[in-house]
Amino acid sequence: MGLLDRLSGLLGLKKKEVHVLCLGLDNSGKTTIINKLKPSNAQSQDVVPTIGFSIEKFRSSSLSFTVFDMSGQGRYRNLWEHYYKEGQAIIFVIDSSDRLRMVVAKEELDTLLNHPDIKHRRIPILFFANKMDLRDAVTSVKVSQLLCLENIKDKPWHICASDAIKGEGLQEGVDWLQDQIQAVKT
Amino acid sequence: MLKKFDKKDEESGGGSNPFQHLEKSAVLQEARVFNETPISPRKCAHILTKILYLINQGEHLGTTEATEAFFAMTKLFQSNDPTLRRMCYLTIKEMSCIAEDVIIVTSSLTKDMTGKEDNYRGPAVRALCQITDSTMLQAIERYMKQAIVDKVPSVSSSALVSSLHLLKCSFDVVKRWVNEAQEAASSDNIMVQYHALGLLYHVRRNDRLAVNKMISKFTRHGLKSPFAYCLMIRVASKQLEEDGSRDSPLFDFIESCLRNKHEMVVYEAASAIVNLPGCSAKELAPAVSVLQLFCSSPKAALRYAAVRTLNKVAMKHPSAVTACNLDLENLVTDSNRSIATLAITTLLKTGSESSIDRLMKQISSFMSEISDEFKVVVVQAISALCQKYPRKHAVLMNFLFSMLREEGGFEYKRAIVDCIISIIEENSESKETGLSHLCEFIEDCEFTVLATRILHLLGQEGPKTNNPSKYIRFIYNRVVLEHEEVRAGAVSALAKFGAQNEEMLPSILVLLKRCVMDDDNEVRDRATFYLNVLEQKQKALNAGYILNGLTVSIPGLERALQQYTLEPSEKPFDLKSVPLATTPMAEQRTEGTPVVAVKQPEKVAATRQEIFQEQLAAVPEFRGLGPLFKSSPEPVALTESETEYVIRCTKHTFTDHIVFQFDCTNTLNDQTLENVTVQMEPTEAYEVLCYVPARSLPYNQPGTCYTLVALPKEDPIAVACTFSCMMKFTVKDCDPTTGEADDEGYEDEYVLEDLEVTVADHIQKVMKLNFEAAWDEVGDEFEKEETFTLSTIKTLEEAVGNIVKFLGMHPCERSDKVPDNKNTHTLLLAGVFRGGYDILVRSRLLLLDTVTMQVTARSSEELPVDIILASVG
Ligand SMILES: Nc1nc2c(ncn2[C@@H]2O[C@H](COP(=O)(O)OP(=O)(O)O)[C@@H](O)[C@H]2O)c(=O)[nH]1
Ligand SMILES: [Mg+2]
């Protein structure tokens, strides 16, 4: 990879870098999703609960993503805001089978949307209604109702149902994100 | 490492240090760059360097600004630049205690420590352990175990050393990693093996048996690492020292290391053997011959190590060291001056009286070339010599005086002054010369501490000499020429002359009158005070206020006065309510130790009683006991070592009560004790008033309970008493791994050793610089005298030692030192009896076949005198 990096650099073909925040409650599947998006030789075998955050990189057809995969556990959520300013896009992951905590997810989302560093920016938000493979998972339509996503008027957003373990639904989401980011540029 | 700056650098404008004029706020402002993308690794690494520099210079970072910088720094983990990443690890470690929420980098660090980049892994482990507290440790335990057995040595070593640090606050978790540490201990890498053994030892250090097993196991199989051998030698010699026995496989192990193929190990073994207390000549011999061999090694480091070790044990094992005299003589001319100095001073310590002159001459030839540190070694040797050959003090004093006149730092000068003072104290015929040389020294002395110390000595010793008036000029010069601290010292010294010498009094009064106009408050106050006292011309006043100073603890006095101002009362302030100062350790010098080596832990002793006072004041049951008079100097063990429970008792004496403090530790991991008390049964008329229990004693967590007793009122003389003690408690069985206890418990008891209360518990040592004046001041209203025969005692030294220890009073005027070849001696003791009454004892001893002792006791009250005499008889 080193050589390719340098070669493409030389040719001025370096991909545009984007800074993405991956947020959502703990156990929703953030780390699993990001892991799946990485090239297969860089994926780690077992996913463990994140403590704090971890920086991961992956590429789409025309962009190079740097993702801040944040820990979703209660005691770390108030630390997310340290990273808002630099974020150019947000991936917000919801465990569609965790109905009980759907209100908590909504609360965290609302706090995020009202944060001064986010509120007035047209920052694209990609929602993954994850774990759709589970039997008691609700549909992505239902998730977007529960989170009142239709109220988000000033930011482009999109929701995809996903199964991070098999990798289903992820590509659709990333393609949407790529389009959004390039749309901003042009 | 940063070079230390000397004056020259400062003067030339400090061009050599690019960080010299850093501003904290500017640097933190720059740190905002960390938030920008793309990251410039060079620029960011440079800013991190500046932050680290500031922190290491002691710059204070507030929590908010530190946290902000820390979070900005976390974003640098995006970059894969190796230098920048290493700087991040360092910053994380340095800021781990300054910034908040530093655990935010946990996952980033675990990723690095398990990643592919070996250069990141070790440092990531160390940074991770630094930010992890005991609550988070479980989360990374798995990684730590893997890292300990990692095949990359730097990773394994990092994990082992970090575990050692974690042991301090998370013993129980780290303890679970011994299997991994065990595996690492058989590593082929010398550092890994060393670090693994270090960890294993520290996990087991409280378990003597396990340590012994560990040593025998690893040494039987042999170790790869010389460092590991050195560690095992140190551990073994520590065990041996505690056992007090030499007849053990541990000693054989150390001995066998003398034949190891690594010089480092051989040296360590030799050094361990010669430092073991109570080694026989036979046991020493092989170790000494190794050191002797090293003395002629071509390697300077080995010669240095050998001669330094010989130097240290020269006083303890003179004959063993003399065996190396020839080799040491060869080193006298060694081109390395440090080696030469050590060789000469060793020879001085062990050599014969006749060689002193020659060696002193030799050493003076290069005294100017060696550093202060080694000059202090020379002074120490001289100090030891003076004790050994009192007749040589003239030669040695001259040498000391010439050293005193030369350039030198504070430590060096202090060593010389200490040595001269001790010579003066030991040899009365050297007093006059000594004092006049010290007078000359303070004429041009840049060290305030030494000047005031010498002035104090002049005030104390000068008036007793044949020609006291000759010192006045030197002292008064200080009043004219020096800054305020020294001037104040000089005023006090003058007053002492006036208080002891009537002829000089008029001229002293004239001098003091001049000082009354001084610019400085303290100097003026002292002069005014002394002037007024001296003008009364009363011996008792002179004794109480000039010759013998305050005996109370100064912080205690401050607190008592503050309390008095907060709660104003009609009654005048009572000085007796103030706790006494613990006597300065420097006064209790033991024979044989060179003066300069004595540390002065006065501060520690003073604060210990203060801590007790505070703790006791917090217990409601002890309200109204009045001020704490005395806490026994060392806790007594009431259990044997290695029993189920460890109980140690400290006695706190109040005016009419004693509080017994029991510090308890429960060493059974399957029990929690609750409601623990120590029941006490006195032999005399003491009355137990109440028990303050320790609520709960979980495994290995020390707790405290108290017993309060009232002193006998009916028969106040019977203060010496034996208490039988029994610990009572409720036992709750618990799970050793989780510490969870059963709900139900049962009552149990445990018999402890008896506890003694002696006269010494009722008396606090105080120092009277001028015993005679104090004796006159107390007067003979309550004087009593009795004569006893000490039938079991054969020498005066032994008698003196026993009396001092028994009464717990302070020997004054160096009367605890019995001159050679005398058969009479007078021991002078001073103390304060509980309640604040001065008590003085003069004990005349006569040695015929046995020792006869005439005891005279004086006090301002009758009771203390009666108690003293009752306790002796
Ligand atoms: N069945 C199922 N399990 C998932 C899916 N995504 C993640 N998980 C599991 O959910 C758990 C939490 O995932 P993780 O990525 O650590 O969640 P994070 O806390 O949001 O980072 C893991 O055990 C994953 O294997 C999914 O789409 N389907
Ligand atoms: Mg995660």
Overall average pLDDT of the A86-108 stretch = 94
Nearest CA to CA, how far is B136 from chain A (Å)? 10
Residue A185 clears pLDDT 60, i.e. is over it? no
Instruction: Give Cα separations from B173 to B114, B137, B180, B211 (angstroms).
Output: 21, 8, 13, 20
Return d(Cα B231, Cα B237) in angstroms, integer. 10
B271 pLDDT band (50/70/90 cuts)?
very high
B229 pLDDT band (50/70/90 cuts)?
very high
Instruction: Give Cα separations from B781 to B775, B860, B867 (angstroms).
Output: 12, 8, 16
Closest residue of chain A to B107, computed from CA coordinates: A51
- Sorted by sequence, the CB contacts under 8 Å of residue B411 that are 6+ apart come out as B372, B373, B376
pLDDT value, residue A10: 46
Return d(Cα A18, Cα A23) in angstroms, integer. 16
Judged by CB atoms closer than 8 Å, whether chains meet at B78 and A55 is answered as yes
pLDDT value, residue B743: 82
A contact test, residue of B70, B107, B117, B129 with most A CBs within 10 A: B107
Please state whether beta strands A16-23 and A63-70 pair in parallel, antiparallel, or not at all (unpaired).
parallel
How remote is the CA of residue A52 from the centroid of ligand 2, in Å? 9
Task: Tally the C-alpha atoms within 13 A of residue B322's C-alpha that lie toward its C-beta.
Answer: 10
**A72 CB less than 6 Å from ligand 1?**
yes
Q: Is B146 near chain A, with CB under 8 Å?
A: no
Smallest CA separation from ligand 1 atom 2, residue: A131
* Residue numbers of A annotated as active site: 73
Overall average pLDDT of the B615-641 stretch = 85
- Chain B positions touching A54 (Cβ under 8 A) are 107-108, 111
- Among B64-68, B348-352, B571-575, the minimum mean pLDDT is found in B348-352
User: Taking CA B60 as the corner, what is the angle to CA B54 and CA B61, rounded to the nearest 5 degrees?
Assistant: 90
Return d(Cα B192, Cα B158) in angstroms, integer. 9
pLDDT value, residue B600: 40
- pLDDT above 70 covers a percentage of chain B that reads 95
pLDDT value, residue B604: 43
Query: What tens digit of pLDDT does each residue of B69-85 get?
Result: 999 999 999 998 999 99
Residue B138 clears pLDDT 80, i.e. is over it? yes
Return d(Cα B819, Cα B798) in angstroms, integer. 13
Phi, psi of B284, rounded to the nearest 5 degrees: -75, -35
Q: Is B672 near chain A, with CB under 8 Å?
A: no
pLDDT value, residue B607: 64
Judged by CB atoms closer than 8 Å, whether chains meet at B108 and A79 is answered as no
pLDDT value, residue B589: 36
pLDDT value, residue B495: 92
B577 pLDDT band (50/70/90 cuts)?
confident
Judged by CB atoms closer than 8 Å, whether chains meet at A54 and B103 is answered as no
Q: Is B132 near chain A, with CB under 8 Å?
A: no
A12 pLDDT band (50/70/90 cuts)?
very low
B584 pLDDT band (50/70/90 cuts)?
very low
Closest residue of chain A to B142, computed from CA coordinates: A48
- Average of per-residue pLDDT values in chain B: 85
- Sign of the torsion angle spanned by Cα atoms B684, B685, B686, B691: positive
Q: Between residues B218 and B659, which one has the greater pLDDT?
A: B659
- Give the ligand whose atoms come closest to the C-alpha of residue A34: 1
Among B35, B77, B139, beta carbon nearest to A85: B35
How remote is the CA of residue A27 from the centroid of ligand 2, in Å? 7
pLDDT value, residue B582: 63
Overall average pLDDT of the B734-747 stretch = 81
pLDDT value, residue B233: 95
pLDDT value, residue A147: 94
Return d(Cα B240, Cα B545) in angstroms, integer. 52
Judged by CB atoms closer than 8 Å, whether chains meet at B106 and A51 is answered as yes
- Chain A positions touching B71 (Cβ under 8 A) are 79, 82
Across B495-516, b (16+ Cβ under 10 Å) vs e yields: bbbbbbeeebbeebbebbeebe
Phi/psi-derived region of residue B734, left when phi > 0, alpha when psi is between -120 and 50, beta in every other case: beta
Return d(Cα B77, Cα B239) in angstroms, integer. 47
- Among B207-221, B260-274, B291-305, the minimum mean pLDDT is found in B207-221
Overall average pLDDT of the B151-177 stretch = 94
- Sign of the torsion angle spanned by Cα atoms A116, A117, A119, A121: positive
How remote is the CA of residue A31 from the centroid of ligand 1, in Å? 7
pLDDT value, residue B1: 42
Nearest CA to CA, how far is A138 from chain B (Å)? 31
How remote is the CA of residue A37 from the centroid of ligand 2, in Å? 14
pLDDT value, residue B378: 82
- Among B214-218, B596-600, B846-850, the minimum mean pLDDT is found in B596-600
- pLDDT above 70 covers a percentage of chain A that reads 91
Query: What tens digit of pLDDT does each residue of B697-716 get?
Result: 888 888 899 999 998 887 78
Smallest CA separation from ligand 1 atom 6, residue: A29
Task: Let me know: does A155 contact A125? Beta carbons within 8 Å.
Answer: yes
Nearest CA to CA, how far is B416 from chain A (Å)? 59
**A169 CB less than 6 Å from ligand 1?**
no
How remote is the CA of residue A124 from the centroid of ligand 1, in Å? 23
Query: What tens digit of pLDDT does each residue of B386-434 get?
Result: 777 777 777 788 888 888 888 888 888 998 898 888 888 777 778 888 8
B90 pLDDT band (50/70/90 cuts)?
very high
Instruction: Give Cα separations from B733 to B668, B698, B726, B737 (angstroms).
Output: 10, 10, 21, 12
B contact test, residue of A38, A81, A82, A84 with most B CBs within 10 A: A82
pLDDT value, residue B126: 96
Q: Is B32 near chain A, with CB under 8 Å?
A: no
Residue A5 clears pLDDT 60, i.e. is over it? no
Instruction: Give Cα separations from B63 to A75, B60, B98, B132, B213 (angstroms).
Output: 19, 9, 6, 18, 48
The whole-model pTM stands at: 0.63
| β strands within B222-301, DSSP E | none
- Chain A positions touching B108 (Cβ under 8 A) are 52-55
**A36 CB less than 6 Å from ligand 1?**
no
pLDDT value, residue B372: 81
pLDDT value, residue A36: 94
Residue A8 clears pLDDT 60, i.e. is over it? no
Alpha helices in B482-550 (DSSP H): 484-500, 505-515, 521-536, 539-542
- pLDDT above 90 covers a percentage of chain B that reads 36
pLDDT value, residue A105: 95
What is the number of CB-based contacts under 8 A between chain A and chain B?
43
- Sorted by sequence, the CB contacts under 8 Å of residue B297 that are 6+ apart come out as B303, B306
How remote is the CA of residue B124 from the centroid of ligand 1, in Å? 26
Return d(Cα B255, Cα B236) in angstroms, integer. 11
Could you give the 3-state DSSP secondary structure of residue B666?
strand
Overall average pLDDT of the B114-118 stretch = 90
Q: Is B143 near chain A, with CB under 8 Å?
A: no
Judged by CB atoms closer than 8 Å, whether chains meet at A55 and B108 is answered as yes
